[in-house]
Structure 1
Amino acid sequence: MTSTRKPVPSSQCFCPSRKKITNSTPWISTLQAELKHNSMAMRWYCKICRFSSPNQRVLITHYKLKHCHQANLPQGKDRESLDKEREQIAVEMMKRTPDINFVDAAMSSTYSLRRQEVIEDELPVSQMKVRWPALFTERQISKEFTRLVSKDLSKSFFEGLDGHLSKLIQLFRSKSYEDIPEMTSKLESLDKDKTNQRMRIAALLGLPWYMRETPSKFMKICEPSDREEDVIKGVVIGILVVVENVMEPLPSFYNEVALVIEEQVLMRHLSDIPNAFLNLMGLVYALNLNYLKELKFTCEVIQNLFIGLGSDSCTARVHSLKNKLLR
């Protein structure tokens, strides 16, 4: 997944490079022009790979996501001892009431091993689920996200979403959706009961349509009588919502809200649709997954404008939305 993320500083992983200015420049105006040019041309280069960026924070983020696992292991531990600790986590998670303090500490100390398995070994998601069952819990998704990008996932997501909520709904209403009855029905339903929670759901479910994308391969809504295997067949990454009435545009009660990756339900019993979006974004980062190409702009909006990662560099379509939201 290509995304901009917040860093772990390391003076050994990056360095600036800029064109040299000599002291022999005769005219101050020439010097000022040169300084301006050099400031604009400055780039930071990763010493491990060929990645470069004019933004130092972007480079440090790149290092943390791509090379942090190559750093030294925790003091006094090697890969074998970390793998034994991983096994202890798996055993603990099989208990009815796991020791969350032990799991928290062990997940933190085994972080470098986990990143190596994700980045270098590229283990399938199904195998990661078996090896790291704790990673597929809301608590550990949040903590892993903080380890990765130094941000509180829930706080960032909901503050960003709520901060743009009213304006986003206004923008939805400013367009015509004659050919998209799903969008029209959501806005009409919102008019009947305009609570903050329903606005959140309308914003997240309507965002793909507004960004000129189709969420049919991502958002799967069905009734309890439908066969789950049939519903999630072909889903690369998405959300499964089970409700009593699929005709309800903005459901308030759920039989099930789950996350699906590679046609497998990996997390169940999430509280609602906004929480599902939140945890799915966390898993995308934790497992280094690519965004679904059919929803790349929607995911970019959530990443850049809601969570606040990489907002300095975004595609033209997302930048246009950003400008409209800030007016």
Structure 2
Amino acid sequence: MDTDILSSDSSSSFLRCEPWPDNFPVPEFTYNVELQLQRGNADFQNNGTLLSPSPKLKSDILESLAPQIITFKVYPSSAEFDDVAKALVKKHPCLKEQGSVSGFYGRKISLKYKMANYRTMLRNIGCTELTVNSLKRKQGDSRTSPNQVKKARRAEVNYCPDYPSGQSQDSLEEERLALLSEVKKSNNHQVVKAKMEMTFAYRRHEVIEDRPFIAEFKRRWPALFSEQETDAIETRRACVLKALMVYVNEDPDHLIQEYIDVEENQKAMDETVLGIYAITVEGAEPTDCLADVGIIIEGVNVLDELGNIANAVIILLGLMYSLNLSYPTNLKYTFEVLQKLVMELDANKLSTKVQVLKNKLFEGTP
């Protein structure tokens, strides 16, 4: 992913940096709400009496929980609503529901309705992250690529943030033009990084709303297509990644193509929609002495000299976020494992195949 989306110094107005927590942090409520809950908890501890909150008290509690949820996720899953309701009842046991098996089912349903209303309110006041999901596009627009829009509910952070305070589309376009000059200079990574952070929201709007072709987007944002602008995790061997693909019944050749002679295979590379190429040295083992490793998207060689296949896979995952690309259907389980098991994004909702793999991995964990 872009390094700027995780930077604490980013100039964007609101960026999410934390995944959904294991234990949801119930916020401190207003003084009058806390006072009523403290008395309710005391009564519950002394004589087991449950609190039946008034409509006003219930509304005040939900009004505080909704913004807290938004700091982690705009579209929580059912299991995540469970986490919030369970944490609320645990912190304030007087709110437990007597007629519910879980003790918080009604609280969960109220949270769902509150979050829907809260999203509507944010959308109406111009929250870009929400308005972008309601956009209607003209069919057959030749200026955009045919990639379908993915909504923010798919575990991405910072899906489509608002422009930084004091910035506009025109001012950020000026920064982009300046960036084109800076990226050509040697030993200029820090300046490029700062300008990439400044223009992050502008770039995301372009990706999400305009859906440009990769070739055009690379021309406008060349600094994005460098290894420094993707967030790599610890390098894993290519054989492990290929074994993962085989385990989930997907063909590694759908992602990784190994060539010896580029010229003889140029046509195949030009026709590649999305994949990784590895140029091997003649006579060497496929994963040894790689002359070049790179990434192709829409027939465009967007990155090269990545060193090894595993590194390229991780960088490709970051590019797929940056360019808002969907996972290939013939590799959906491979990318689901990388996203949900390795990166732990949206990890509570797994396909059956990936859940089985997770169970097997934990069988050997003490």
TM-score (norm. length: structure 1): 0.67
Supply the distance in 1 between the matched residues of 2:254 and 2:346 (Cα, whole angstroms): 26
Q: Does 1:203 find its partner at 2:240?
A: yes
Q: Does 1:265 find its partner at 2:359?
A: no
Q: Does 1:154 find its partner at 2:233?
A: yes
Deviations, residues 262-317 of structure 1 (Å, cap 9, x unaligned): 11111011111111111101101111101111101011111111122121112111
**Cα displacement (A) at 1:103:** 0.8
2:250 to 199, 213, 219: 213
1:101 to 183, 186, 190: 190
Moved over 4 A (4+): 12-19, 39-42, 58-63
Structure 1 stretch displaced more, 6-15 or 99-108: 6-15
Q: Secondary structure at the match of 1:220?
A: strand
**Cα displacement (A) at 1:111:** 0.9
Q: Does 1:35 find its partner at 2:125?
A: no
Supply the distance in 1 between the matched residues of 2:258 and 2:75 (Cα, whole angstroms): 49
Q: Secondary structure at the match of 2:181?
A: helix
**Cα displacement (A) at 1:62:** 5.7
Contact kept in structure 1, 2:100 and 2:106, CA below 8 Å: no
**Cα displacement (A) at 1:34:** 7.4
Q: Which residue of 1 aligns with 2:288?
A: 252
Supply the distance in 2 between the matched residues of 1:62 and 1:299 (Cα, whole angstroms): 14
Cα distance change on mapping 1:246 and 1:135 into 2, 3 Å: farther
Contact kept in structure 1, 2:340 and 2:346, CA below 8 Å: yes
2:171 to 55, 77, 81: 81
Supply the distance in 2 between the matched residues of 1:264 and 1:209 (Cα, whole angstroms): 27
Q: Does 1:115 find its partner at 2:204?
A: yes
Supply the distance in 2 between the matched residues of 1:289 and 1:315 (Cα, whole angstroms): 20
TM-score (norm. length: structure 2): 0.61
Q: Secondary structure at the match of 1:298?
A: helix
**Cα displacement (A) at 1:101:** 1.6
Cα distance change on mapping 1:15 and 1:139 into 2, 3 Å: closer
Q: Which residue of 1 aligns with 2:158?
A: 64
Matches within 5 A, 1:1-327: 7=16, 11=67, 30-33=98-101, 35-39=103-107, 41=109, 42-43=111-112, 44-45=115-116, 46-47=119-120, 48=123, 49=130, 64-65=158-159, 67-68=160-161, 71=162, 73-95=163-185, 97-142=186-231, 153-154=232-233, 158=235, 200-224=237-261, 226-245=263-282, 248-249=285-286, 251-327=287-363
1:118 alignment partner AA: V
**Cα displacement (A) at 1:33:** 3.8
Supply the distance in 1 between the matched residues of 2:229 and 2:265 (Cα, whole angstroms): 26
Q: Which residue of 1 aligns with 2:42?
A: none
**Cα displacement (A) at 1:245:** 3.9
Supply the distance in 1 between the matched residues of 2:208 and 2:362 (Cα, whole angstroms): 36
Supply the distance in 2 between the matched residues of 1:317 and 1:75 (Cα, whole angstroms): 44
Contact kept in structure 2, 1:221 and 1:243, CA below 8 Å: yes
Q: Secondary structure at the match of 1:255?
A: strand
Supply the distance in 2 between the matched residues of 1:15 and 1:303 (Cα, whole angstroms): 17
The share of aligned pairs that are identical, in percent, is 28
Cα distance change on mapping 1:139 and 1:37 into 2, 3 Å: same
Deviations, residues 143-182 of structure 1 (Å, cap 9, x unaligned): xxxxxxxxxx425xx5xx6xxxxxxxxxxxxxxxxxxxxx
**Cα displacement (A) at 1:125:** 1.4
**Cα displacement (A) at 1:252:** 1.8
Q: Secondary structure at the match of 2:356?
A: helix
Contact kept in structure 1, 2:336 and 2:354, CA below 8 Å: yes
Q: Secondary structure at the match of 1:323?
A: helix
Cα distance change on mapping 1:59 and 1:259 into 2, 3 Å: closer
Cα distance change on mapping 1:213 and 1:39 into 2, 3 Å: farther
Cα distance change on mapping 1:60 and 1:257 into 2, 3 Å: closer
Contact kept in structure 1, 2:248 and 2:334, CA below 8 Å: yes
Supply the distance in 1 between the matched residues of 2:345 and 2:283 (Cα, whole angstroms): 34
2:271 alignment partner AA: G
Contact kept in structure 2, 1:305 and 1:322, CA below 8 Å: yes
Deviations, residues 60-110 of structure 1 (Å, cap 9, x unaligned): 956731x42xx2x22332111111110111111123x15212111111111
2:67 alignment partner AA: S
Supply the distance in 1 between the matched residues of 2:297 and 2:97 (Cα, whole angstroms): 58
Cα distance change on mapping 1:287 and 1:15 into 2, 3 Å: closer
Contact kept in structure 2, 1:213 and 1:294, CA below 8 Å: yes
2:267 alignment partner AA: D
Supply the distance in 2 between the matched residues of 1:59 and 1:263 (Cα, whole angstroms): 29
Unpaired stretches in structure 1, ≥5 consecutive residues: 1-5, 20-27, 52-57, 143-152, 162-199
